[in-house]
Homo-oligomer: A and B are copies of this chain.
Amino acid sequence: MFEVTPESMGTAKRGDIASDTKLQPITPLSVKVACSNCNLRELCMPMGLKADELDRIEEVVAVRRKVKRGAHLYSNGENFSSLFAIRTGFFKTCITTEDGRNQVTGFQMAGEIIGLDGIVKEHHTCDAIALEDAEVCVMPFDRIEELSREVVSLQRHVHKIMSREIVREHGVMLLLGSMRAEERLAAFLLNLVQRLHARGFSQSELLLRMTREEIGSYLGLKLETVSRTFSKFVEDKIVEVKQRHVRILDTEALKLIVNNNHKPC
């Protein structure tokens, strides 16, 4: 029933230049990490870079790191030294307090930058955990600062990435502060599918990488409420749900729910 497979949602479409060419290391340029060949470039990198600027940025993004499903990319309290660009895989970030509160602050996918929380105190203030096997580009922050003093478009880009995160969080505050359960879940699904679509995936089918409990934490709901709300959407023929496979049948209905134009019911 669901065409979506773990493979088709994950790394399938991403070619790894480095491994493709390592059997014939004739052109030295291609063995190092190559942003210029990365198909996530338009998500990570500023536009309109000159060739020599791109070369210099590639020097910053020299190291990659693999993170197994369930492993921490970084943890609360850990020293901050780098930002990470997600190449493949899916992460959650969450904060945990001493008294046992827990809050998922976001879900991040390929092309997104994570670690910005660590800059201010020079140590991380949340955990970043891989929800599936993942690979990230490690970008030492002092190198980023150094280079962004010289490459204006990179400087601007860094500022925009941080501002974008601030604006995203405003949206989450709106969601948590003013929406009811159905509205939250509808907004969540639309947001996820829109970001996946921007990466070449289906507009209507998605594979949730997170549990109902993690969705609930992010949305300020209990896992039972998330489950019940899914069931209600299924009843209303708005989505099909089979565990973590979700097919959206009626995008417009979801949008109406978010914009609470369904009030007259």
Q: Write out the residue numbers on chain B whose beta carbons fall within 8 Å of the beta carbon of A97.
A: 174, 259
Does chain B have a CB within 8 A of A232?
no
A29 interfacial contact with B, CB 8 Å: no
Cross-chain contact B167 with A120 (CB below 8 angstroms): yes
Looking at A6-14, A58-66, A158-166, the stretch in contact with chain B turns out to be A158-166
Contacts of A160 in B (CB 8 A): 119-120
Asked whether, in the complex, the Cβ of A170 is within 8 Å of the Cβ of B99, the reply is no
How far does the alpha carbon of A178 sit from the alpha carbon of B170 in the complex, in Å?
17
Chain A contact residues: helix, strand, loop or mixed = helix
Asked if A103 is an interface residue, CB under 8 A from chain B, the answer is yes
Count this chain's copies in the assembly.
Answer: 2
Which of B166, B176, B220 has a CB less than 8 Å from the CB of A166?
B166
Residues of B within 8 A of A179 (CB): 101
Q: Is the CB of A101 within 8 A of B172?
A: no
Contact yes or no, A177 B217, CB < 8 A: yes
Stretch at the interface among A17-25, A149-157, A188-196: A149-157
Shortest A88–chain B CB gap in Å is 24
Q: Determine if A260 is an interface residue (Cβ-Cβ < 8 Å).
A: yes
A260–B126 alpha-carbon span in the complex (Å)? 20
A218 vs B165: C-alpha distance when bound (angstroms) = 19
- A110-133 contacts to B, CB under 8 A, are 116-121, 125-126
Contacts of A99 in B (CB 8 A): 259-261
> Are A178 and B103 in contact, with the CB atoms below 8 A?
yes
* Cα of A120 to Cα of B168 in the assembled complex, Å: 11
The answer to whether B118 and A163 touch across the interface, beta carbons within 8 angstroms, is yes
9 closest residue pairs by CB, A with B:
A119-B163, A176-B176, A177-B220, A120-B163, A169-B169, A162-B162, A103-B174, A99-B259, A120-B164
